[in-house]
Amino acid sequence: MSAQSVLFDAPGPKARRNVLIVNVVALIGVAIVAWIVLGMLNERGQLEPSRWISAVNGNAWSNYYLPGLQFTLQSAAIAVVTSVLFGLVFGFLRLAPYAPIRAVSGVVVEFFRAVPVLLMMVFFYQVFAMLGRAGVIPSADGPYFAVIVGLTLYNGAVIAELVRSGVKSLPKGQREAAAAIGMTPNQSLRLVEVPQALVAMLPSLLSQFVVILKDSALGYLIGFYELLQYARQLGSGQGNILQTLVVAAVVFIVINVLLTWLATLLSTKLSSKTAGRTKPRAGSSAVKV
């Protein structure tokens, strides 16, 4: 049998030539657009070395980028933990043997999956602002809590669906084997099915963590001082906001690329362990008569 997939036909010489032509034309088009944009930026003085030096000097990193990155990673880390807890709880509830529990938890999960995360941040920003005026929480912490709660509810709902779909994708023999040794459905779910589903879901979970990190940047719209907000503040004070935002974007890209690489590496390792090629064993030694 051919090594190529039966669902894919290798392109012939004409198709490869057409693909090459399209790629070359697209590359030339991108180069022309980049040249025009750089020319416009140069005319406006945005490529002057002084603007870029002030955007990457020691003061910028120590007083703006690193503190902003600290708050970004801190809020994202807390949101990751709370999202996983939320997802596990509601994932279990969506798999409960009782229909009313499954229905209620399903409504909760689908609601938070449907509402945009920015809308939830704005809503909880108003809620925590009222609590701040009432003296329940410090007023300055309202945006911070709003970002974490918004990220938790949205991404937790996504993780809950990952848990449910991961368990549903397992062979029925797992639950039947657990029942055969006397486990209840809840014990089978908790001790057998969910642990296996979590291993299979790890790459998807890491990809969701990348989403959490990126979505934390939306907090600047409600006054949360994360990396993007610090970069805007630095650029506004020095008149080089484009340069500072570019630096912040590069930091985000580097972190997200590292997380994506980790997710890909983990997915590859899991695939090699669970779908490896079986090696033939040597036959047993002959029995002497």
pLDDT at 3: 46
Q: Does 159 reside within a domain?
A: yes
Instruction: Say how many domains are in the chain.
Output: 1
pLDDT one-digit tens code per residue, 230-268: 999 999 888 889 999 999 999 999 998 888 888 778 777
Q: Does 43 reside within a domain?
A: no
Q: Does 32 reside within a domain?
A: no
Mean pLDDT of the chain: 85
Q: Does 214 reside within a domain?
A: yes
Q: Does 68 reside within a domain?
A: no
pLDDT one-digit tens code per residue, 23-67: 999 999 999 999 999 888 888 888 888 889 999 999 999 999 999
Residue keyed to tokens 């449910």: 164
Q: Does 254 reside within a domain?
A: no
Task: Kindly report the length of the chain.
Answer: 289
For the four alpha carbons of 211, 216, 218 and 222, in that order, the dihedral sign comes to positive
Cβ-Cβ contacts under 8 Å for 108 (sequence gap 6 or more): 90, 157
- Of 11, 76, 113, 63, whose CA–CA distance to 217 is shortest? 76
Res. 186: pLDDT tops 80: no
Compute how many other C-beta atoms are within 10 angstroms of the C-beta atom of residue 218.
19
Q: Give SS3 for 225.
A: coil
The residue type found at 110 is: E
Domain assignment of residue 144, given as a range: 73-225
**Domain CATH for 86:** 1.10.3720.10
Q: What percent of the chain has pLDDT over 70?
A: 90
Q: Does 211 reside within a domain?
A: yes
Burial string for 258-287 (b: 16+ CB within 10 Å, else e) reads ebeeebeeebeeeeeeeeeeeeeeeeeeee
Return the CA Rg of the chain: 26
Cβ-Cβ contacts under 8 Å for 101 (sequence gap 6 or more): 93
Q: Does 20 reside within a domain?
A: no
